[in-house]
Amino acid sequence: MMQIIAWIGVSQAIFAAILMLSKKENNVSDKVLFFWLVLLTFDFFTCGLDYELFQKPLLSSSFLLFNPALYLYIRSLTNKNFKLNFFQFLHFIPYLAFKVLSYILKEPFSMNTFF
């Protein structure tokens, strides 16, 4: 069941990202929202692959992905002169490190192993 939900999430995130690209006038906040939707697609995709390959979800690091993306999106909405630069993408390094480690260790997500 969770595998189906993950693949539905992939398709919905892709659809929403395509809708953001089809807007006639894109500003910086639209591009950040598009990037956030692409990250959401990636996270659902890796969750679906976890179910396909390991028959169980691996440790989730979504909170490390969505919080910096939400921060950048809110900054882009509130600051008129907001521009993306390389240093703002450093917020995503903990997510990438955690995701790589979860695939290396192949640690399943369960409360017993968490505590």
pLDDT of residue 47: 76
The sign of the torsion formed by the CA atoms of 104, 109, 112, 115 equals positive
Q: What is the pLDDT of residues 23-53, one digit of tens each?
A: 888 788 888 888 888 888 877 787 777 777 6
Q: Would you kindly state where each structural domain of the chain is located, as residue ranges? A: 2-114
3-state secondary structure of 87: helix
Residue 65, both tokens: 């992905």
Contact 71, 91 (CB under 8 A): yes
Q: For the residues 6-22, what does the mean pLDDT come to?
A: 84
pLDDT, average across residues 105-114: 57
Residue 74 has pLDDT above 50, yes or no: yes
Per-residue model confidence (pLDDT) at position 78: 92
- 107: confidence class by pLDDT, cuts 50, 70, 90: low
What mean pLDDT value characterizes the chain?
Answer: 78
Residue 100 — very low, low, confident or very high, per pLDDT cuts 50/70/90?
A: confident
